[in-house]
Structure 1
Amino acid sequence: MVSSINPSVKMIAVVIPGLVLSLAFDVVTPLVFLTFLLLVTFFFSGVRLKKWLMFFIPLSLFALGLAWTSMLHTDEKYAGGDMLVNFWWIEITTGSLQVGVSLALRSMCFIALTLLFALTTDPTKLMLSMMQQLKLPPKLTYGILAGYRFLPLFKHELDLLRQAHQIRGVSRTKGIKGRIERLKRYMIPLLANAIRKSERVANAMESKGFTGSRQRTHYHEIKVKKNDWVFLTSMITALAIAFYLSYTLGYLNIFGKTF
């Protein structure tokens, strides 16, 4: 399953295709790779379809809007070909249509890659992996972990503040001015509590011998296994196949240059 892959290796396997796909301006390359990503997501990730669609559909609508705008305002370098639509101020050629569809498919690939990583990766394991495999400084790693753990506490404290204000009959002025006043009333107590909590965590870490040194042992060791390399190789191989199929069919286009 994708969730068992080393987080650092998984991140590399997601970033590399994302960067390389940004070079392709044709339709076939992102379409083939998107098909591969959907197969991996639905058959090997364990992510529920309903949960995945809840994130994918809104982001895809934004990607389609971006593609439509790009289609209407395509650079002259890419807007060649036959005229397909010429109505009022709307002019769409085969070249601009290809650019728009390609942008939409590439955006969907980026969304699918992001969801594949975000929905199958534990944040704690990601930070530990980045510290052990990518040599991220322990001070930065544990700082991020501490901040991540504080988020639910801050939400709980915000709910308590709202309930306390409601019980005490604090007036809630409507409009933008009222929202700014409420924001001020919430920010000062939350900031004070955040400072107190950060000091307590810092004192607790120092009392237990945390110095931020890279030369340290780990209770939870994150290792790179054979399956991790298989996953990375499969992602890069699928991307290479997508480019090869596009090249074989005569559609490969990199920055406006057809191969």
Structure 2
Amino acid sequence: MSLHEVNPSIKAFAIVTSILILSVFFDPITPLLTILWSVTLTFLFGHVSFKKWLLLFAPFLFIAFIYVWSTMLFPRLQEGDHVIWQWGFLTLTGEGFRRGVSLGLRVLSFAALSIMFTLTTKPTDFLLSLMQQCKLPPKLAYGIIAGYRFLPLIKEEFQTLQNAHRVRGVTRARTIPEKIQQLKRYVIPLLAGAIRKAERTALAMESKGFTGEKKRIFYRVIPVSYIDWLFFILMIGAVVLSAFISWKLGYLQFYNGEL
């Protein structure tokens, strides 16, 4: 089984459901086991580059570190908390340490699940699946696809404008007024080009008989098979099993809205 072959809509439903179940719990074991499961699944069945995965995961590591650090050193002290270390206004308690680690792992578990979906799903297949399985309006879906296709073209046009300005001897902006003026020189041609592309795309779609009706025949059909539902069951089952193991170890705790 390859994660790239799983139906994108069912995959997204499984990821969102897993995140919603994880948001109910607030303990370190449940998200930790979920991270291990999602990372293992990503590399074994996703066939993704470790370098690319780490590049996307690194910002969340930093965010989780900030959450852990701030929660541990600036806890909401309650009666009966066990103080481990104190210096001035900084206080480290056992309960604060546990809450900080739980919060950090909670962020990383959400990130690991989201990155698994991002790296193993093609945007075009996802939108086609939303139209076929979730009845997303074709007008909205094809508009998103067209905008997604325009992004590389806009990047190329921006680089062309930069090179043209260098050839014509336009100096590099240094002060704030110069940067604002430079931004205008870039934005106006890019917007004009985007409008022209949008008009051409609309005329091309209309000439091909695109009306936006929901009852239409698709050239590419995104199927639903037992593998898709097996993936859904495995994802939900893994999160529930993680919570069960945490309960057996005595760490399971429900999130009550307080840190």
TM-score, scaled relative to structure 2: 0.94
C-alpha distance after superposition, 1:86-128 (max 9, x if no partner): 1121111111111100011111111111110111111110110
Contact 2:31–2:105 at 8 Å: present in 1 too? yes
Partners of 2:67 and 2:176 lie apart in 1 by: 31
Q: Which residue of 2 aligns with 1:231?
A: 231
Tell me the equivalent position of 2:56. 55
Structure-2 separation of matches of 1:141 and 1:220: 14
1:112 aligns with 2:93: no
Moved more, 145-154 or 44-53: 44-53
Cα deviation, 1:228-259, whole Å, max 9, x if unaligned, reads 111110000001101111112221111259xx
Query: 1:204 deviation in Å?
Result: 0.6
Q: Would the aligned equivalents of 1:82 and 1:94 in 2 still touch at CA under 8 Å?
A: yes
1:158 aligns with 2:158: yes
The CA distance in 1 between the partners of 2:206 and 2:80, in whole Å, is 65
Q: Distance in 1 between matches of 2:208 and 2:111?
A: 41
In 1, the alpha carbon distance for the partners of 2:151 and 2:25 equals: 39
Q: Please tell me whether the aligned partners of residues 18 and 239 of structure 2 are also in contact (alpha carbons under 8 angstroms).
A: yes
Counterparts of 2:105 and 2:252 in 1: how far apart (Å)? Answer: 14
Distance 1:105 1:80, change over 3 A: farther
1:111-163 CA-to-partner distances (Å, cap 9, x unmatched) read 11111011111111011001111111100000000000000000111111111
> Using a 3 Å threshold, how does the CA distance of structure 1 residues 16 and 74 change in structure 2: closer, same or farther?
farther
Q: 1-side partners of 2:149 and 2:107: how far apart? A: 31
**Correspondence 1:97 to 2:97:** yes
Superposition RMSD on alpha carbons, in Å?
1.6
- Within 1, Cα distance between the matches of 2:76 and 2:235? 32
Whether the aligned pair in 1 keeps the contact of 2:75 and 2:92 (CA below 8 Å) is no
Q: Offset at 1:80?
A: 5.4
The offset of 1:74, in angstroms, is: 3.2
Aligned to 2:76: 75
Separation (CA, whole Å) in 1 of partners of 2:98 and 2:141: 43
- Cα distance in 1, alignment partners of residues 256 and 206 from structure 2: 57
For residues 12 and 223 of structure 1, the distance between their equivalents in structure 2, rounded to whole angstroms, comes to 15
SS of the equivalent of 1:84 reads: strand
> Residue type of the partner of 1:46?
H
Inter-partner Cα distance in structure 1 for 2:71 and 2:38: 24
Aligned to 2:179: 179
Identity of aligned residues (%): 46
